[in-house]
Chain A
Amino acid sequence: MNGQSIADATWVAGLLALCGPSLGGALIAQDSVDAFVAAYSKAANTTAQLRSVPSSLSSDALEGAVDLAATLAFGKPVHGAGLLYTNPYMLVRRVERLDAACTSLMAQALDRNELLLIACIDLHDDDAALAPKLEARLTFCVEDDAEPVWSNEDILLARAKLSRNSIEPRYIKDLCEAALSIGIASPRTVYQAVITSRAIAALLGLATVDENCVALAGKLVLAHRALHLPAEQQEPEQNEPPPPEQQDEDSLQNNSSPKAADAEVILEAIKAALPPNLLQMAGDGSGKRGAGRNVKSNAPRKAAGQRGRRIGNKRASSLAGQRLDIIATLRNAAPWQPLRRKLGSTDRMVVTRDDFRVSRIKQRNESTAIFAVDASGSTAFQRLAEAKGAVETILADCYVRRDKVALIAFRSKKAELLLPPTRSLERAKRALAGLPGGGGTPLASGLDEAFALALQVRRGGGNPIVIFLTDGRGNVTREGEGNRAKAQEESQAAARFFAAEDIDAMVIDVSPEPQKTARLLATAMNARYFPMPRANATDIARPISSALKAVSA
């Protein structure tokens, strides 16, 4: 079989059919799932066929929990076996919607080598981000269609080879060097590459791993995790990512870097597979799928009143929209059983409407402070440092009260979400420190971005508070053109959305003298307005802190 002519996706299907859970799994582009599943099914054993699992699944279903039907039928608790144990070959579409508990259980199963997870994700949807802890454990990332090249006989033959083939230590060293030079964070990834190269050799019918196998493994396993190009490691971090054209030149120069011959072969293979916009992604410190994003925000939310801490249960007059607390209901029915059995002459559990109990939920009203910071030239020269100081002070406050914070900056052409809602102070600090200043004021984009995020937070049951730090003088339109009049018009319109949706907002006027524009903005948003005299960061922070307290109280 000629290894060169086989597409990456096809390799991945074959490799996963061969190695199963010991390679963890793959992240697959939505459009390529069907082709992949076809290729995999042809190759895999009948016992290792993929089973599609909905992303709305509960952690009970994964792990096994009380089987209600059986429990009622037998009059004693019966536990169902979880999917993780009955069917550890899973295909999950819209994997970003898995809730945190499922994600963790899956990550643990992947660690134990007891789960093969094929995770599908819509690569065109920027909001779809796989939980970083799953992403780190999935060996491959597939964006193309696989072809059904391997049959199950091929795989069985290869499996016999795999148990006997070996990899020379020098290749392990090469893979480690290559991984470190492109910023891969964990040796786990290299280990995945080692297994992969042995599996490739087995599929090709080789007794030992050769250079080509290692290079291909590097390309399949390491490339999609690359954070930066090889020689860039020592360069200081830049605020502005260089334009993409430059990247090609960089990679050309890298050819001459002194590296072991084989590590270079691996790096070459990796570079060939790198996406063109890598630098931009590396610039914000996130991985390929925007790793580090708070994935919870994508999970569908239950209706309000159904989230939070359970503080007991109550009798349910009607079940409208509420979930039955099954255990409490059974507990309540239990003492009456001997009596009811006599009346009804049945040996089953008798549950009547009176027994129904629903959980009482104590909801934690979680505030999310969304900072929208005007980092344009007009602010930058005057107050950006102070604004940063103010945000830092409020951050410290939010940290104590376990509020979440998010950070949006708008400058030059557009607004940018620097930090999705997080409770991690470290990330907030870093995002803020790296905030550059200068350029025009795309106020309307800033408002749009903050508005969208506020709605997202509210959908999640949180309590958004938007804090604008700006002088209100927008001069860049949504399209990124410099047109002051149109920009003002757009921002007034965008501001009115805040008032319409009744979003809690405040405008901190950071211009040297209080500006009419900022006050107008606040009025349109129906927001509180604080003109800031020239003062230190704490002075700016004080009114915001007290307002935040008032809101979340």
Chain B
Amino acid sequence: MAIAKTNKNPPANSRGQKIVYPFSAIAGQQELKTCLILTAVDPSIGGLLAMGDRGTGKSTTVRAFAALLPPIKAVKGCAYHCDPASPQSACDDCRVAATLKSETINVPVVDLPLGATEDRVAGALDLERALSRGEKVFEPGLLAKANRGYLYIDEVNLLEDHLVDLLLDVAASGENLFEREGLSVRHPARFVLIGSGNPEEGELRPQLLDRFGLSVEVKTPQDVASWVDIVKRRDAYERDPEAFYGEWSDEETKLRQRIQAGRNKLKDVVVPDAIQESAAGLCLALKTDGLRGQLTLIRAARALAAFEKQKTVDMKHIKRMALPSLRHRLRRNPLEETGSAVRIERAIQDVLGP
């Protein structure tokens, strides 16, 4: 869909992207940053939920992260930017095509606007072809655009329930099944779902919480030094984005390479049986529903080990990933005063030892 975007030309970097605030320059937010990186190291972790007050820099961090990701190879002209190297996960057209031309693209990051309709998200009948030629053709929506990339929903807690259901179904299956208006289409839609929101404006249904892989609570530090740091960096960035980006470009490149290295290493990381058992013990002690929590915990710990260049997952990795992997999966007595964090810390102490 051609929509006239802003008329001024934003500053752009050598990769042709609009310069956004560099990810490495974001002060604080360590947990959020680590978790975002892990979703890039192992996309099967399954999305991230970042809840926090207004003005904590959630959106800034997510957008900055998108610009950091290493570019990918995709089939030229394919609406779903399929991976030329893996035809088994490609769309119907790419799978049967004799030859595929490939091009290098930036990792797609799709912003889902709050008012988006189901047509816009899942796709719809292509009006142009239908009107001019009377043909029934599928016009891909945002889900197609997000394939192999990130789908970012700010204020996910305000999104209409049926849309959230749709998104989570697709995110879990990696496929968008479209059965409407006499069209029957299935296409790959593997993306990492990032949701953010402010819990004061409303909460997510517990069923939906569980579908996000990791969850982070974002807070603003409350000391003068951190604030001065944040404001100074922001000021420097706004005054001269290019120079500021230049200052941080080494860091950005280094981090990008580390993520790439972590991805390559991921399949070689060993998870010892003892670690598997401890993770299971922890989930049992916390009475998390189902196996999803345990699976995510193991995956996140493995991604963390890979990112930190280690060959085996150890107890430290499990301990560090327990909070973001399990925090949103505790069966919650809504009025219990003890926060999830405290309960998890306690369980770690009890089950895994100090």
By a CB distance below 8 angstroms, the chain A residues around B220 are 185-187
**B15 interfacial by beta-carbon distance below 8 Å:** no
> Interface on A for B, CB 8 Å cutoff?
22, 59-60, 63-64, 66, 71, 75-77, 79, 81-82, 85-86, 100-102, 104-105, 108, 111, 114, 132-133, 136, 167, 169, 172-173, 175-177, 179-180, 185-191, 194-195, 292, 309-310, 327, 330-331, 334-335, 337-338, 349, 392, 395-396, 399-400, 402, 422-427, 429
> 8 tightest A-B contacts by CB?
A186-B55, A101-B115, A59-B115, A81-B4, A176-B227, A104-B114, A334-B130, A76-B128
How many angstroms between the C-alpha atoms of A188 and B230 in the bound complex? Answer: 9
**B93 interfacial by beta-carbon distance below 8 Å:** no
**B119 interfacial by beta-carbon distance below 8 Å:** yes
The distance from the CB of B152 to the nearest CB of chain A, in whole angstroms, is 11
The distance from the CB of B140 to the nearest CB of chain A, in whole angstroms, is 14
Q: Is the CB of A75 within 8 A of B6?
A: no
Given the interface pairs A167-B235, A194-B231, the reply to whether A424 lies near B128 with Cβ below 8 Å is no
How many angstroms between the C-alpha atoms of A335 and B230 in the bound complex? Answer: 58
Q: Is the CB of A133 within 8 A of B54?
A: yes
Q: Is the CB of A331 within 8 A of B114?
A: no
Given the interface pairs A100-B158, A136-B55, A422-B202, the reply to whether A173 lies near B131 with Cβ below 8 Å is no
How many angstroms between the C-alpha atoms of A242 and B116 in the bound complex? Answer: 47
The distance from the CB of A396 to the nearest CB of chain B, in whole angstroms, is 5
Please give me the residue from chain B that is nearest to A188 by CB atom.
B55
Q: Is the CB of A331 within 8 A of B181?
A: yes
How many angstroms between the C-alpha atoms of A185 and B333 in the bound complex? Answer: 29
Q: Give the residue of A104, A187, A349 whose beta carbon is less than 8 angstroms from that of B230.
A: A187
**B179 interfacial by beta-carbon distance below 8 Å:** no
Q: Is the CB of A172 within 8 A of B131?
A: no
Q: Is the CB of B231 within 8 A of A85?
A: no
Q: Would you list which residues of chain B between 267 and 307 have a CB under 8 Å from chain A?
A: none
Q: Is the CB of B118 within 8 A of A185?
A: no
The distance from the CB of A326 to the nearest CB of chain B, in whole angstroms, is 10
Q: Is the CB of B160 within 8 A of A309?
A: yes
Q: Is the CB of A426 within 8 A of B227?
A: no
8 new A-B contacts, CB < 8 A, other than A101-B113, A101-B115, are A59-B114, A85-B3, A105-B113, A111-B60, A180-B227, A395-B335, A422-B202, A427-B200
Given the interface pairs A77-B127, A180-B222, the reply to whether A424 lies near B199 with Cβ below 8 Å is yes
Chain B window 1-29, contacts with chain A (Cβ cutoff 8 Å), 1 for yes, 0 for no: 11111110000000000000000000000
How many angstroms between the C-alpha atoms of A189 and B6 in the bound complex? Answer: 25
**B224 interfacial by beta-carbon distance below 8 Å:** yes
How many angstroms between the C-alpha atoms of A338 and B114 in the bound complex? Answer: 38
By a CB distance below 8 angstroms, the chain A residues around B314 are none
How many angstroms between the C-alpha atoms of A426 and B228 in the bound complex? Answer: 31
Q: Is the CB of B224 within 8 A of A169?
A: no
Please give me the residue from chain B that is nearest to A108 by CB atom.
B154
The distance from the CB of B1 to the nearest CB of chain A, in whole angstroms, is 6
Q: Is the CB of B231 within 8 A of A349?
A: no
Given the interface pairs A104-B158, A133-B54, the reply to whether A76 lies near B231 with Cβ below 8 Å is no
Q: Is the CB of A176 within 8 A of B228?
A: yes
By a CB distance below 8 angstroms, the chain B residues around A111 are 59-60
Please give me the residue from chain A that is nearest to B200 by CB atom.
A424
Q: Is the CB of A85 within 8 A of B5?
A: yes
Q: Is the CB of B55 within 8 A of A104?
A: no
The distance from the CB of A175 to the nearest CB of chain B, in whole angstroms, is 7
How many angstroms between the C-alpha atoms of A79 and B223 in the bound complex? Answer: 48
Q: Is the CB of B203 within 8 A of A77?
A: no
By a CB distance below 8 angstroms, the chain A residues around B5 are 85
Q: Give the residue of B56, B155, B160, B235 whose beta carbon is less than 8 angstroms from that of A104.
A: B155
Q: Is the CB of A424 within 8 A of B202?
A: yes
Q: Give the residue of A81, A100, A425 whose beta carbon is less than 8 angstroms from that of B334.
A: A425
**B238 interfacial by beta-carbon distance below 8 Å:** yes
The distance from the CB of A214 to the nearest CB of chain B, in whole angstroms, is 13
How many angstroms between the C-alpha atoms of A133 and B235 in the bound complex? Answer: 22
The distance from the CB of B205 to the nearest CB of chain A, in whole angstroms, is 7
Q: Is the CB of A185 within 8 A of B55?
A: yes
Q: Give the residue of B114, B200, B230 whose beta carbon is less than 8 angstroms from that of A292.
A: B200
**B101 interfacial by beta-carbon distance below 8 Å:** no
By a CB distance below 8 angstroms, the chain A residues around B160 are 309
Q: Give the residue of B131, B227, B228, B235 whose beta carbon is less than 8 angstroms from that of A75.
A: B131
Given the interface pairs A81-B4, A395-B334, the reply to whether A349 lies near B115 with Cβ below 8 Å is no
Chain B window 243-286, contacts with chain A (Cβ cutoff 8 Å), 1 for yes, 0 for no: 00000000000000000000000000000000000000000000
Q: Give the residue of A104, A105, A426 whose beta carbon is less than 8 angstroms from that of B200.
A: A426
By a CB distance below 8 angstroms, the chain A residues around B1 are 79
Q: Give the residue of B115, B181, B198, B235 whose beta carbon is less than 8 angstroms from that of A172.
A: B235
Given the interface pairs A188-B55, A189-B55, A195-B238, the reply to whether A349 lies near B131 with Cβ below 8 Å is yes
Given the interface pairs A105-B115, A191-B231, the reply to whether A82 lies near B335 with Cβ below 8 Å is no
**B53 interfacial by beta-carbon distance below 8 Å:** yes
How many angstroms between the C-alpha atoms of A396 and B335 in the bound complex? Answer: 7
How many angstroms between the C-alpha atoms of A402 and B160 in the bound complex? Answer: 12
